[in-house]
């Protein structure tokens, strides 16, 4: 019989039974089945409650970036990422600004936007005014949904109403501005938008469709700034090279996507290590970068009067410490403990600093020596591992490939065979 991925009641099976189904479906070996079932730091009973249809956990290395001083505090930063060089690069960049006091970072209040889409209104302008006239009642209704947030001085603080033109005609977009305190806020905000929808329909005479948080968190920004002495960077030419790299990104979206990707190497790694929503942060980052209509760098680089390099970063940073996976994933909890923080704003400030460090490291490497030299030895190790090298053989095979400047799977296989015999 042909295979089918529609398996009735799959979600009701135990993790072990689900693995058996997947094993039969995909023709997994006994060893591969065992690999899926290997317990890690995230126990199955926790994983199984976090998402649906769990059959395993996907391990990603977690390293720590060293040397960070952020707002005067010494910080060790956990980073979860599969890409070699990123953690070393962040540590290196953080070291280079220590003599200048490290990173200064700030955040705005943790305000998220919840959107309510109203269609089919006869007179959009009039409806907008009527909604705004009843703002107090709408906010009161939103806030009745979340007494805990209110007790922490958070909650819906304002209501804005816009009229947009679409190919389906005019729409009214009502936006709740919600202070989410130490939560990322999606649950609180979505609950509020759903709760106020009937009231908005009544006031506007229209029909509500979407009620959902916006990931373009322009009211929840994190900023970081740092100065890197020109001598530490390798001289004036390197400083000029970095500024030229920034100018390239500012004018060219093809370069800018890669520039911002380098920033997100650092940002996403900390977001993931702390159990936050990487997709929300990525969506917010790129939408923010494009908000002027011209896709732009999330960082800016300039020279100060000394000729030293000054970098700044500004981006949305909707991360939380409560209510999400940060509170349920034991490794994420540990990451927060290593960071030594108590608030979501502190976390956002750290992440912004890491993003800035990551960008500096990439631009310096690109401007000074090219990225490949540093990358190669780590890449070579991964290639050696991918062909089955273990223990000392990983180092031997990768060192030989780097020496030969032939970091390739075919060469790794040959060398592994050779060194395994010898
Ligand atoms: C690689 O993951 C990131 C870089 O490409 C970033 C950049 O080019 O700025 C090195």
Mutate which of 264, 354, 366, 374 to test ligand 1's pocket (most atoms within 8 Å of Cβ)?
366
Q: What is the pLDDT of residues 211-247, one digit of tens each?
A: 999 999 999 999 999 999 999 999 999 999 999 999 9
Q: Whose CA is nearest to atom 9 of ligand 1?
A: 259
Q: Whose CA is nearest to atom 1 of ligand 1?
A: 262
Res 371 pLDDT > 70: no
User: What is the mean predicted confidence (pLDDT) over 192-207?
Assistant: 98
Record the tokens describing residue 176, joined without a space. 């709740």
Read off φ and ψ for residue 206, nearest 5 degrees: -100, -170
Distance 261 CA to ligand 1 centre (A): 6
pLDDT for the residue numbered 375: 65
pTM of the model: 0.90
Active site residues: 83, 261, 277, 375
pLDDT for the residue numbered 369: 73
For CA atoms 116, 122, 128, 132, the dihedral sign is: negative
Distance, C-alpha 287 to centroid of its chain? 13
pLDDT for the residue numbered 374: 60
Distance 13 CA to ligand 1 centre (A): 43
User: 102 — alpha (psi -120 to 50), left (phi > 0) or beta?
Assistant: left
For residue 362, give the nearest of 244, 269, 242 by alpha carbon: 242
Q: Whose CA is nearest to atom 4 of ligand 1?
A: 262
Distance 362 CA to ligand 1 centre (A): 6
Distance CA 183, CA 374 (A): 38
Q: What is the pLDDT of residues 85-95, one digit of tens each?
A: 999 999 999 99
Mutate which of 265, 301, 354 to test ligand 1's pocket (most atoms within 8 Å of Cβ)?
265
Distance 265 CA to ligand 1 centre (A): 8
Percent of the chain whose pLDDT exceeds 70: 98
**Strand, coil or helix: what is 5?**
coil
Res 206 pLDDT > 80: yes
Q: Whose CA is nearest to atom 6 of ligand 1?
A: 262
Element spanning 73, H or E: strand 73-80
Res 74 pLDDT > 60: yes
User: Cα 26–57–88 angle (5° rounding)?
Assistant: 120
The chain-wide mean pLDDT, for the chain, equals 95
pLDDT for the residue numbered 372: 57
User: What is the mean predicted confidence (pLDDT) over 46-67?
Assistant: 96
Across 263-295, b (16+ Cβ under 10 Å) vs e yields bbbbbbbbbbbbbbbbebbbbbbbbbbeeeeeb
């Amino acid at each position: 019989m042909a295979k089918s991925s529609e398996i009735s009641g799959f979600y009701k099976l135990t993790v072990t039974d689900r693995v058996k189904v997947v094993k039969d479906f995909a023709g997994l070996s006994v060893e591969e089945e065992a690999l899926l079932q290997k317990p890690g730091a995230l126990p199955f009973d926790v994983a199984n409650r976090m998402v649906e249809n769990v059959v395993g956990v996907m391990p990603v290395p977690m390293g720590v970036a060293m040397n960070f001083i952020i707002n005067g505090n010494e910080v060790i930063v956990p980073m979860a990422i599969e890409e070699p060089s990123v953690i070393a690069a962040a540590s290196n960049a953080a070291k280079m600004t220590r003599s200048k006091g490290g990173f200064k970072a700030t955040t705005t209040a943790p305000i998220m936007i919840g959107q309510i889409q109203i269609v089919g209104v006869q007179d959009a302008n009039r409806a907008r005014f009527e909604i705004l006239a009843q703002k107090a009642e709408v906010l009161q209704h939103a806030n009745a949904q979340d007494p805990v947030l209110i007790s922490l001085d958070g909650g819906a603080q304002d209501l804005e109403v816009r009229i947009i033109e679409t190919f389906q005609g005019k729409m009214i977009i009502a936006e709740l501005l919600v202070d989410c305190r130490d939560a990322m806020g999606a649950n609180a905000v979505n609950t509020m938008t759903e709760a106020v929808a009937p009231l908005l329909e009544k006031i506007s005479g229209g029909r509500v469709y979407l009620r959902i948080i916006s990931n373009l968190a322009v009211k929840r920004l994190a900023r970081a700034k740092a100065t890197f002495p020109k001598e530490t960077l390798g001289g004036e030419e390197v400083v000029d090279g970095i500024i030229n790299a920034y100018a390239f990104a500012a004018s060219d979206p093809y370069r800018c996507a890669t520039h911002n990707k380098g920033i997100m190497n650092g940002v996403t790694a900390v977001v993931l290590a702390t159990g936050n929503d990487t997709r929300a942060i990525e969506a917010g980052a790129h939408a923010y970068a494009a908000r002027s209509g011209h896709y732009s760098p999330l960082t800016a680089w300039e020279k100060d009067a000394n000729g030293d390099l000054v970098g700044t970063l500004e981006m949305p940073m909707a991360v939380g410490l409560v209510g999400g996976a940060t509170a349920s994933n034991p490794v994420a909890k540990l990451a927060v403990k290593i960071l030594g923080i108590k608030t979501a704003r502190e976390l956002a400030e750290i992440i912004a600093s890491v993003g800035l460090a990551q960008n500096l490291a990439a631009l310096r490497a690109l401007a000074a020596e090219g990225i490949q030299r540093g990358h190669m030895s780590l890449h070579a190790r991964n290639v050696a591992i991918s062909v089955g090298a273990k223990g000392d053989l990983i180092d031997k095979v990768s060192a030989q490939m780097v020496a030969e400047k032939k970091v390739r799977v075919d060469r790794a296989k040959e060398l592994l065979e050779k060194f395994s015999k010898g």
